[in-house]
Amino acid sequence: MRAYVVISALFLTAAFPSAAQVSPSACERPPASKTPPTQHLLLARNWVKQACAADKAAFCAGVPPGCGRPMRCLRAHGDQLASDCRTALEQLHAASIAKY
């Protein structure tokens, strides 16, 4: 009887691979080839982390980390964010598109 249950479970697992869940850390698209971040960009990221901590907890607590999901969540709540957080996000955007 035990062998029947094990064989049935193995068969169902092999027959229905679409039932397997995708890891929340798996991104929808592969990351582009990255160049090392500039010091300005690293400082801007730290500022966002500090300035937006309360807003992230308030608006994006259920958002899994990775693949830019928390940042997209913060930007989706742009009008509701604290002014420090909005300013930090603007500075991060400027630092990310700046060519040094």
Q: What pLDDT score does 97 carry?
A: 86
* Cα distances (angstroms) measured from residue 26 to each of 33, 68, 70, 96: 17, 11, 14, 23
> For residue range 34-70, what is the model confidence (pLDDT) as tens digits?
788 889 999 999 999 999 999 999 999 999 999 999 9
Task: Give Cα 83 distance to the centre of its chain.
Answer: 22
Q: What pLDDT score does 34 carry?
A: 72
The single-letter code of the amino acid at 69 is R
Q: Is the pLDDT of residue 33 over 70?
A: no
Q: Is the pLDDT of residue 30 over 60?
A: yes
Q: Which residue has the higher pLDDT, 21 or 65?
A: 65
What tokens appear for 43 in the block?
């400082």
Pick the closest to residue 74 from 96, 94, 37, 48 (CA basis). 48
8 Å CB contact between 27 and 71: no
